[in-house]
Amino acid sequence: MENVVLAQSEETNEGNKNSKNETLSPLGKYEEGMPWNPVEKVILERRSTRAFKPEPLPDGMIHRILEAGRFAPSTGNTQPWKFIVVNSPEILTEMEKDAIKMAKFFMFFIDYTRGNILRRLYILSWVKWIIRFMKNELNPVPFALMSQIAQGKAPVFHGAPTLILMVEDKRGAGCPATDIGICGQNMILAAHSMGAGSCWFGTTKLLMYLPKWKKKFGIKYPYRLNDCIGFGWPSPKADGMVPRETQLVQWYEKGMNDAPRIKKQGE
């Protein structure tokens, strides 16, 4: 069994490592089976970086990243965003400390995975109702992350030297949260194309329970802060292609009454 695993690992890692003499195709052209063009390469190799060098990005580069965000598409050109750049190490450590404090506070009441069996069963009896109503915030993945943060096993902002807070204007047309997402992805791709690393941190939400930080960043009506992105030089370099699950995609190609053809994307 172990031999099989080893043999397969050698095979699969071929595709993982990027060859140095890789040829890229020019932009604005498509032929079947052509190599990646630079834009696709940045998109496919982007990995969220969660280990940074302590020195921040140069100011010019942050301006350039913000420029990519400024030119993002938005519903009806409402541009429902406000950017806040936090570069100061003092404020960052304070934010980290307070976020950990809040995670510990919440996890004391709702962490059903820790403690002895009596505590677990008691907490689970009512936390499962909370999960029903906050199914996105308390999805098992962020829940486990908050639990790790409360135990001191994982950091909140992963030592990112620059944070760009993406403040959402609630009055935006359509769905302003989508516009924020598009804007953030633009900035992230710009950053990765220049060799920087980035990561979305949804845990900024923890700070919004404290009036201190709301006042500090001026988050009041009509603004709302859900996400922020951390930027910095990656250390170690974490970009690379990884395998992902294949998707079943419905293709409607025939008439109104015909069933869609299901194609496997990625195989």
Partner 1 sequence: MKKFTLIDRLRIPTYDKLTHVQTADLYFNAKKCKRCGICVRVCPGGCIVTDKVTKNDLLQDMKKAVKCGMPHVDVLKTGATLCMACFCCGAACPQGAITIKRNFNPKYFYKRLTQTSDMTYPKKY
Residues at the interface with partner 1 (CB under 8 A): 5-6, 8-9, 12-13, 15-17, 32-36, 44, 47-51, 112-114, 120, 124, 128-129, 131-132, 135, 139-141, 143-145, 148, 152-155, 158-159, 236-249, 262, 264, 266-267
Q: What b/e sequence results for 137-146 when a residue is b if at least 16 CB atoms lie within 10 Å of its CB, and e otherwise?
A: ebeeeebebb
* Among the listed residues 72, 81, 83, the one whose alpha carbon sits nearest the alpha carbon of residue 169: 81
What are residue 265's DSSP bridge partners? 247
Write the DSSP symbol of residue 163: E
CB of 159 to partner 1, least distance (A): 6
CB of 77 to partner 1, least distance (A): 33
Note whether 182 and 73 are within 8 A (CB): yes
92 or 219: CB nearest partner 1 = 92
How far apart are CB 92 and partner 1 at their closest, in Å?
13
Closest contact distance (angstroms) between CB of 245 and partner 1 is 5
Strand partners, 261: 251
Residue whose CB is less far from partner 1, 34 or 194: 34
SS3 123: helix
Contact 223, 171 (CB under 8 A): no
| Cβ closest to partner 1, residue 121 vs residue 194 | 121
- Between 149 and 219, CB nearer to partner 1: 149
Q: Which is nearer to partner 1, 17 or 20 (CB)?
A: 17
CB closer to partner 1, 113 vs 178: 113
Report H helices in 111-175.
Answer: 117-133, 140-150
Distances 87 to 161, 172, 173, 207, 235 between C-alpha atoms, Å: 6, 28, 31, 17, 18
Cβ of 167: how many Cβ atoms within 10 Å? 20
139: Cβ–Cβ under 8 A, 6 or more apart, which residues? none
Nearer to partner 1, 151 or 178 (CB): 151
Could you list the beta-strand ranges (E) of 2-110. Answer: 81-86
The nearest distance, CB 13 to partner 1, in angstroms, is 4
Task: Report the nearest approach of partner 1 to the CB of residue 88 (Å).
Answer: 19
Name the minimum Å distance from CB 162 to partner 1: 17
Is the separation of the CB atoms in 35 and 22 below 8 Å? yes
